[in-house]
Structure 1
Amino acid sequence: MEDRLQMDNGMVPHKIVSVHLQESTLKELGQVDPSEKEKSVSSAQMHDSADTSETAVKSELEIAANPGDPQSEEEKCKLEQASKHEEESSSLSDREIGPGEHHHLHLSSCHECLQLENSTIESVRFASAENIPELPDDCSSKPEDKNVEYIASKIKRVNLAGKPPNILIYVGSEGSKMQFEQVKSVLEECVDGDSYTIYHLREEQVLRDPWVDNAVLLVIATEETISEESHKQFIKFLSNGGKILGFSSLFTFDDIQIKRKDKLKTVRELVVSKPDNTEVKLDFLISGCIFEEAMKENISKVKPLSHLNNADRDLVIIHLPYGDNGGEAVLSQVHLELDINSMDIQTEEDFNLLKMSNTKRYEILKEILISLGLSCELREIPMLTPIHLLSSDEEIHVAFLKWLEQNVDAEGLIASSKVSLKFVSSDETKMEVTPSLMPVITQMGSFSSEHFSLKTYQQNLQTKKLGKILLFTEVTTTTMNLLDGLMFKLPEEMGLIAIAVRQTQGKGRGGNVWLSPVGCALSTLHITVPLYSNLGQRIPFVQHLVSLAVVEAVRSIPGYEGIELRVKWPNDIYYSDLMKLGGVLVNSTLMETTFHILIGFGFNVDNSNPTICINDLIRKYNKEEGTQLKPLTADCLIARTVTVLERLIDVFQEKGPNGVLHHYYKYWIHSGKRVRLRSEEGPVAWIVGIDDCGFLQVHEEGKGVESVHPDGNSFDMLRNLLVPKR
């Protein structure tokens, strides 16, 4: 029914709410003349409260809209339990609604409603990111009105401060849509997406529209001079208990002045005070300005949150309270809102410093938002999705389906202790997807995905058998579990791979959790290795070959050879020797004389935050070298990785370690590195290379060369430390 109704702004209702009608009203409705029902009555406009102490909001419900009229609308009205005298109809009721009370829906033709329309009716409005006036009417700005309920489809639950949970972003009169989207995207990664709606507060709306009472947070993200009129509105917002977060803006108050320290924006080291009274040092882009206090006696009101790590300890982030209603502001001359890809970074050193501080940037921003009363809890775990059976080769696909007929039970099930798979021809059955039972749709014709192109995968997969049969899903627990029930039964020539867009329980080495946002390449590949073979006698080399395959998948593309992607012993993919952007997990099972190996690998392709991704490195390379290399995609790189891996395995089986180690050393980050063994005070050693079994070789003074097993040790890159795994 919702899709047949349309609001006057062109939007359609998200949900129609059922209401209770008085019996007397129902009787009256039956007597209403049909022509009367079809009268279109418009809602009263929102009024500025400057002319009167109380705001009157009118709204009426059209009960029989003309289907051919695009302007037809449905509105609901909520009645307060108030006196029905006509003399009280000029003001809105401030009474709170109890949880068990029912408020009856009345109509524009109802005699009772006509008497009470001014005193009891609230508009149903659909919030629009493009139109701040479409925010819900706020009956009162009084802090005590905490339980007011807004009947709206896109506006979330009112927060404890009594304000609708809207976040407004002001980027000035010259601010572009792109600037707004940049700030919005950062906030969306920090706040609870189910609790807040983010809007663009445009210059013309600052003075005209009643946003002051309709937002829980105002973000000022412009370096323009704030006009006197706009400044007054922002102060009014604070006076009403509002919260302001300033990003490198000239907005300030209460004798706090902004002084330009540097002519240009620069990357500087900061000292940030944490809520637990600890301090952390990190590097951020600074606007070039600092905060100073004009009157030192007001220093008690200012809470310093961050200062430059210099002799003057210049303030760059401060907290300021305002008024008696809980208004407060956090003002920052640090560009916490900017992603590195939107900055004009001049040097490789600045790029590295900012990327290494990126995770802490999010932590600090979340702490600031929490201090301003916002919720930054983790979002809900996405729902699991069905699996699609795909193939890069039609002949192999048909052969696999024939194999399935002989190996599934009567219900189309292949059972497993981890995840049982139920094979169905299509998704019409709408079977529930659970962590222990997942449907697999076998018809390829119904497959489509925004994040994965089977055609791109097919074009880049050049293997004899690996990766030919795909189990693809948008969201799963972990791809490591999907192949468990198939790998011991499937014929060897049917190379099996599981690919996901997101994982809710991604696994890393040693029980670590691997975060799996959209933009990662996530897959688990099944391979078999004969026990009595070069690789079968050196299984630890498998993780080295996979790490190398990921790096070569990128750096073997013509033009991409200079992308600074490297391998770190024993199983990581790194940007230079600075930051991890991928990893490998290998589980092997020996069945008679054959190793069945599940290789899980994941690496960041297009997710810049919270750390770094391959496309970041490509953009960096383009800027430095003046090239125009295109960004890469997960489907392309997964296929290329599998292709390179099959070739590396073939070479290893033929020539042993010496066939691949020269490639591995070309890209690894450890040559000649000085480390300490076991602890920060442990003996000094130098990394020599990898021995014949794939273990790391180090040379300790006075003791010669010894091997370090990857399953028993971890390489701490930040401290150049080899320590036992716990």
Structure 2
Amino acid sequence: MVPNLRVTSRLNCRTIMRKPPNILVFPPSIQGGQAFERLKTLLVSILEPHSYTIYPLKGSECRQSLWMDHTQLLINLESSRSDPDILTRFQSYLRSPEAMLLHLNPEEGLATHLKLDRFSTLMPPSHRLWYPVCLEKVDESVLKDILGQHFGLRLQSGRDSYDANLKGPGYLYASDEVIRLKALNLHDQWGPELSVHDVVRLESPLFNRTAFLRRLQTRYLGRILLFYPVIGSTFEPLERSVGNGVVVMADQQSAGQGRGGNAWLSPPGCLMFSLQLGLDVKSGMVQRVSLIQHLIALALVHAISQLTAPSENSLRLKWPNDIYLGSDTKMGGVLAKSSFCGSEVTVNLGLGFNLDNALPTLSLNSILDHQLSREVVLAEVLNVLEDLLNQLERGQIESLLQLYHRYWLHQDQVVRVKHDASDEISVMIKSIDEFGFLNAERLDTRASLTLHPDGNSFDMFQGLILSKR
């Protein structure tokens, strides 16, 4: 049901899932959006936790083609659709042999428009289903049978019962000297459930403090670390100013955040953490603050390269904030948020990486000869990141960009770019600039251009537009 890719390690070949585990619901606006929320709640209660993300597919997004390569299952809630652009997109999606479509509506409507018989030879019967019942009357047991038996999606078992609101206590890892130096008031910063007396002496069985500190060589990054077995998002404790270099790590996130409001799958075994930088407005880093999100992704890839053999080093950077294995398999991503208050700029950075998770996609440890622990990888990422930030502060931009380009995917890649509302041009990607934007060259005139993403939620690299700077 999903395309396979053969990935070769030094020991063997493994079959992995390439298509992102996304379920799209169209249209999301029925009944004021309540239909989507009701269906999402139902799907979450049926599907295996941490295995799928469920998104609304808006009409404006549906008229483009970006969503097709990022969808494992499309669920349609509308009985009829006369918009020719959307019908064309649906037909294009159905031509793919791995396309899966579920139509939840008692009326024939869209089925007639799409003329399913035309696609019967292209689509295996198991990949399409018209279920003639409106959403309000969908039976959970029947939907579970459709998703599991008909489409082969992973369902919850009895042991998978999952409470998205579950949140355990946090564990603070810091030396007494650091706490006295920072004069931390944990009650004000992280709430009454944490206190210096309680958390400094606690050890979580899910985090090896000794291994982490043995590898950590930073001056400030990670010297204060808050670890949660379960949390909504590691960004939550950083919503206020908590200190320069503070790191928040979790074993599981129930509401992980991706860019553009996207959800981020956070199964156990992933490396998931956020950190906060407090920068003086006069700092050299603030002048190029937009480059910092690229540096944390670079820190992860470069750190892994230092921890593994050269033959295993195939991690690459997909601009602007994704981490790939080779050119096809997404392994991680970065989220950055910044705010300005007085003389300080606060930058919160989040990173999620498939290090040791069993599902739903490939993890790095599954293809390595020697397993890497989260503690060692986290410490090495922080070591590399602090060095990169120091270079940025000193204005050593060329060395940073040289290292970034060593790992990125896009050298001399040709893409179509939006020139104005009705025109596109072909350009060749050359590099990123000192602010993290793309440098490109027009194929027709050889003129130099600066590009930035258009904000689409599926693939930012497929929606580039000319910078207005």
Contact residue 534 and residue 656 of structure 1 kept, 8 A: no
Return the match for 1:593 from 305, 329, 343: 343
- Deviation, 1:554, is 0.3
2:287 partner SS: coil
Q: Is 1:527 the counterpart of 2:277 in the alignment?
A: yes
The amino acid of 1:447's aligned partner reads: E
2:320 partner SS: coil
Q: Is 1:682 the counterpart of 2:419 in the alignment?
A: no
Gaps of 5+ in 2: 1-41, 48-71, 77-90, 100-118, 129-142
The amino acid of 1:692's aligned partner reads: E
Cα deviations by residue, 1:556-615 (Å, 9 ceiling, x for unpaired):
125256421011111111112212211111112233333221111111111242222222
More helix by percentage: 2
Residue 212 of structure 1 corresponds to none
Counting only pairs closer than 5 Å after superposition, residues 457-536 of structure 1 correspond to structure 2 as 457-487=212-242, 490=243, 492=244, 495-536=245-286
Contact residue 555 and residue 561 of structure 1 kept, 8 A: no
Task: Pick closer, same or farther for the CA change 1:374–1:471 going to 2, 3 Å.
Answer: closer
* Residues in 1 aligned to 2:260 and 2:45: alpha-carbon distance in whole angstroms: 33
Contact residue 267 and residue 359 of structure 2 kept, 8 A: no
Cα deviations by residue, 1:53-104 (Å, 9 ceiling, x for unpaired):
xxxxxxxxxxxxxxxxxxxxxxxxxxxxxxxxxxxxxxxxxxxxxxxxxxxx
* Residues in 2 aligned to 1:500 and 1:673: alpha-carbon distance in whole angstroms: 36
Contact residue 227 and residue 250 of structure 2 kept, 8 A: yes
* Residues in 2 aligned to 1:592 and 1:719: alpha-carbon distance in whole angstroms: 35
Counting only pairs closer than 5 Å after superposition, residues 272-421 of structure 1 correspond to structure 2 as 278=94, 280-282=96-98, 367-369=147-149, 379-382=161-164, 383-391=166-174, 393-400=175-182, 403-404=183-184, 407=185, 413-414=187-188, 420-421=191-192
Counting only pairs closer than 5 Å after superposition, residues 498-647 of structure 1 correspond to structure 2 as 498-557=248-307, 559-560=309-310, 562-618=312-368, 629-647=369-387
Q: Is 1:668 the counterpart of 2:451 in the alignment?
A: no
Contact residue 715 and residue 723 of structure 1 kept, 8 A: no
Residue 38 of structure 2 corresponds to none
The amino acid of 2:325's aligned partner reads: Y
Residue 126 of structure 1 corresponds to none
- Number of residue pairs the alignment of both structures matches: 348
Task: Pick closer, same or farther for the CA change 1:718–1:471 going to 2, 3 Å.
Answer: closer
Larger Rg belongs to: 1
Cα deviations by residue, 1:497-540 (Å, 9 ceiling, x for unpaired):
11111111111112111111111111111123333333221111
Task: Pick closer, same or farther for the CA change 1:602–1:374 going to 2, 3 Å.
Answer: closer
Cα deviations by residue, 1:116-140 (Å, 9 ceiling, x for unpaired):
xxxxxxxxxxxxxxxxxxxxxxxxx
1:640 partner SS: helix
* Residues in 1 aligned to 2:145 and 2:431: alpha-carbon distance in whole angstroms: 42
* Residues in 1 aligned to 2:358 and 2:146: alpha-carbon distance in whole angstroms: 18
* Residues in 2 aligned to 1:665 and 1:364: alpha-carbon distance in whole angstroms: 46
Residue 205 of structure 2 corresponds to 449
- Deviation, 1:316, is 10
Residue 287 of structure 1 corresponds to none
- Deviation, 1:442, is 1.8
Contact residue 713 and residue 724 of structure 1 kept, 8 A: no
- Deviation, 1:274, is 8.9
Contact residue 273 and residue 279 of structure 1 kept, 8 A: no
* Residues in 2 aligned to 1:608 and 1:467: alpha-carbon distance in whole angstroms: 27
- Deviation, 1:389, is 1.1
Contact residue 193 and residue 379 of structure 1 kept, 8 A: no
* Residues in 1 aligned to 2:225 and 2:290: alpha-carbon distance in whole angstroms: 26
Counting only pairs closer than 5 Å after superposition, residues 422-437 of structure 1 correspond to structure 2 as 422-424=193-195
Task: Pick closer, same or farther for the CA change 1:496–1:282 going to 2, 3 Å.
Answer: same
2:275 partner SS: strand
- Deviation, 1:496, is 1.0
Contact residue 564 and residue 576 of structure 1 kept, 8 A: yes
2:285 partner SS: coil
Root-mean-square deviation (CA), in Å? Answer: 4.1
- Deviation, 1:683, is 1.2
Q: Is 1:658 the counterpart of 2:405 in the alignment?
A: no
Contact residue 234 and residue 249 of structure 2 kept, 8 A: yes
Contact residue 714 and residue 723 of structure 1 kept, 8 A: no
Q: Is 1:722 the counterpart of 2:464 in the alignment?
A: yes
Point out the more displaced range, 379-388 or 662-671: 379-388
2:286 partner SS: coil
Cα deviations by residue, 1:542-562 (Å, 9 ceiling, x for unpaired):
011111001011001252564
* Residues in 1 aligned to 2:43 and 2:300: alpha-carbon distance in whole angstroms: 34
Task: Pick closer, same or farther for the CA change 1:448–1:560 going to 2, 3 Å.
Answer: farther
TM-score, with structure 2 as normaliser: 0.64
Task: Pick closer, same or farther for the CA change 1:616–1:496 going to 2, 3 Å.
Answer: same
Identity in percent: 26
Cα deviations by residue, 1:281-308 (Å, 9 ceiling, x for unpaired):
249xxxxxxxxxxxxxxxxxxxxxx999
- Deviation, 1:635, is 1.9
Task: Pick closer, same or farther for the CA change 1:658–1:307 going to 2, 3 Å.
Answer: same
2:235 partner SS: helix
Counting only pairs closer than 5 Å after superposition, residues 176-215 of structure 1 correspond to structure 2 as none
* Residues in 2 aligned to 1:716 and 1:373: alpha-carbon distance in whole angstroms: 21
The amino acid of 1:482's aligned partner reads: P
- Deviation, 1:646, is 0.2
Residue 445 of structure 2 corresponds to 702
* Residues in 2 aligned to 1:507 and 1:501: alpha-carbon distance in whole angstroms: 15
Contact residue 417 and residue 466 of structure 2 kept, 8 A: no
- Deviation, 1:385, is 0.3
The amino acid of 2:188's aligned partner reads: I
Task: Pick closer, same or farther for the CA change 1:669–1:387 going to 2, 3 Å.
Answer: same
| Larger RCO: 1 or 2 (CA < 8 Å, sep 6+) | 2
